[in-house]
Each structure stands twice: as C-alpha cells, then as structure tokens.
Amino acid sequence: MTGTRLAPLEPGTFRTALPDLLEVYLAAMRYPPGTGEARAPLWADHSRRDGFRCVAAVDEDGSVAGLAYGYRGRPGQWWYSEVARGLEGDPQGWLADYFELTELHVRPDRQGVGLGESLLRSLLGPVTTESVLLSTPEGENRAWRLYRRVGFRDVLRDFLFTGDGRRFGVLGRALPLDAQVGPPVGPAAS
C-alpha cells in the first residue's frame, strides 16, 4: 500500500467522484461498461441515506484503487426488505440496528495486498450500530476469505434476491470489529 492513502468521502464528494468509483467497481466485478451508468443513480441515492460513510483508497497519482461504502439499514429500504423476507421475521435480531456494507471493491491490479481489509476497517471503525451486514455472490474468492478472516458469519446462504438469478450469501458480525463475533445481543437474540 505504499503511496496509497485512505480518504473518507463526504456525500457530495462521493457523488462527484462517482465516475472514478464506478470504474473500480466495474473492473473488480468484471462488469461491462454500461453497468456503471445504470448504477450511478442508485449509488447517488445511497449517499443521501442516514449514516452514509465512504472510504476510498487513493494512489499517489490521484487514481482510485479501491472503495468501501455503506449506511444505516432501515425498514423500507429494498435490501432490508429482501433480507427480512429471507430471515422470516428476523428472530435473531440482525436487522434491529445494523450498518449495511453496500460495496467494497479493489481494482484487480491492487488486490491481494491488504487494501480490502484496510478499507473495511477504516469504514467500520467509527460505525456505532450493533452489527454490520453485507451480501456477496456465493463462491470461494478473496472477498469471502476477507470476510471470514475478520469474523463475519453466515446469516443467509444461497439466497435469491428478487430480480437476480445469482445466489448470494448474507454475512454479518457484531461491531466494533474487535467485539465478539455473533448476532446482536438482546431480547431478539435470546
């Protein structure tokens, strides 16, 4: 990570930087170029949500090497509703007070050197919700190894989101990151 700095992006700066951030997303996910144009309005909307946080990894030349962002999950949001459907009412309390890790991507030429974990830790360090949740396509890869290494555990596996034929894992863990791994503690988790 020599020469790379982590920079928090305020919502307005995030929206201005969307073309560069989406370029990293497309490269990391190996999506076709038009995908970024379709995602830009959604990402801009996310930046207006309660608790929005973004951290970017920026190289010495000003290029974006990676990013992580998310916000406080709430009833009425699409992802919340989908996961609540999968959890059949959330008897373990995962959705009671969580931060949704919406995106974490590192350019392919910068993967494998700890940048993803640095972004994750920097993003989640100041978050004060009880837990963090994320979804990621099923399959053994660097993302899964990162999430397991920092203590994420299965919340849902082989889950199908409405409108997407791919299978996803929904993973979660208690916050802060140095806290005990598991669902939130409280009446719903008993």
Report the catalytic residues: 147
Q: Provide the b/e sequence for 148-165 (b: ≥16 CB within 10 Å).
A: eebbbeebbeebebeeee
Reference 80, options 102, 65, 63; nearest CA is 102
Range 6-21 burial, b when 16+ CB lie within 10 A, else e:
beebebeebbebbeeb
Q: Are 106 and 28 in contact (CB under 8 A)?
A: yes
From residue 128, give the alpha-carbon distance in Å to each of 7, 53, 59, 73: 20, 12, 29, 12
105: which 2 tokens? 């991507």
Alpha helical stretches, state H, the chain: 11-16, 18-29, 34-46, 78-87, 115-124, 142-149
Q: Greatest CA span in the chain, whole angstroms?
A: 51
